[in-house]
């Protein structure tokens, strides 16, 4: 049996990913979000708000004795306060790092600990961003937290390669510009606060945004056939 732990399943990529996986009768999904929008016999919902690292450390991670493969997808993410450095709300800045980088690191650490020594294949999927690799003005918190997620993925991958284990695969996936609530949030920001605002309005007008469903399908394909390089940009595939 394959067990998928997915954060942020209430909408967007996480919601679509869970529903695609549930079509496979040999798969079970544990979803984490503040709201539950999925009803399925092979879906377990755990209410969680990952804006606090305390939640990440204490939230339930069920152990499955019959697991043949375990996949953790750290999908939950927030844009944070869109403002230049010096004008960012500090509480929101902290929460941005907690949700986007610290929570994925803690959950990855816990999953590897829980299944340590078990004959189980483990895949860690971190949903990153092109903003981790390219500076975007007024997105300091988002860019930096996603860059931290990329580096965490690289270190984890290096550790697994040097151990010769081979049972743990790591993917840090930049999904591109996707038609989700985060894009709605971006387009609502005043141009005075976000110099690149027009570019994101153009993406919507010209139909450039990918659908969350299409992105989720590509992620499933990568889980089933992981490349050697853990840093992935879906726009290049």
Output the tens digit of pLDDT for each of the chain's 237 residues.
999 999 999 999 999 999 999 999 999 999 999 999 999 999 999 999 999 999 999 999 999 999 999 999 999 999 999 999 999 999 999 999 999 999 999 999 999 999 999 999 999 999 999 999 999 999 999 999 999 999 999 999 999 988 877 789 999 999 999 988 888 888 888 887 888 878 888 888 888 899 999 999 999 999 999 999 999 999 998
Q: What is the structure's pLDDT at 200?
A: 84
The CATH classification number of 2-176+211-236 equals 3.40.50.720
CB 160 within 8 A of CB 170: yes
Per DSSP, 211 falls in state P
Q: Which two tokens stand for residue 72?
A: 């953790």
H or E segment and range at residue 29:
strand 27-33
Q: Structure pTM?
A: 0.94
Q: What is the structure's pLDDT at 197?
A: 79
Sign of CA dihedral 16, 27, 231, 61: positive
Q: What is the structure's pLDDT at 201?
A: 81
Question: Cα separation of 137 and 178, whole Å?
Answer: 19
């Amino acid at each position: 049996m394959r067990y998928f732990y997915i954060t942020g399943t209430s909408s967007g990529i996480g919601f679509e990913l869970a529903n695609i996986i549930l079509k496979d009768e040999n798969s079970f999904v544990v979803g984490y979000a503040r709201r539950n929008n999925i009803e399925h016999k092979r879906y377990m919902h755990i209410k969680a708000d990952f804006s606090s690292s305390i939640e990440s450390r204490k939230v339930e991670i069920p152990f499955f004795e019959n697991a043949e493969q375990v996949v953790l997808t750290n999908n939950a993410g927030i844009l944070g306060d869109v403002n230049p450095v010096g004008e960012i709300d500090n509480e929101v800045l902290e929460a941005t790092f907690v949700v986007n980088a610290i929570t994925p690191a803690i959950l990855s650490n816990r999953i590897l600990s829980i299944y340590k020594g078990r004959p189980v294949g483990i895949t860690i999927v971190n949903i990153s961003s092109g903003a981790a690799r390219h500076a975007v003005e007024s997105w300091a918190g988002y860019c930096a937290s996603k860059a931290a997620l990329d580096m965490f993925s690289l270190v984890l991958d290096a550790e697994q390669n040097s151990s010769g284990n081979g049972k743990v695969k790591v993917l840090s996936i930049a999904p591109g510009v996707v038609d989700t609530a985060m894009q709605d949030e971006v387009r609502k920001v005043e141009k005075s606060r976000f110099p690149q605002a027009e570019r994101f309005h153009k993406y919507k007008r010209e139909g450039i945004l990918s659908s969350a469903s299409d992105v989720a399908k590509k992620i499933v394909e990568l889980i089933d056939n992981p490349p050697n390089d853990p840093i992935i940009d879906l726009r290049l595939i």
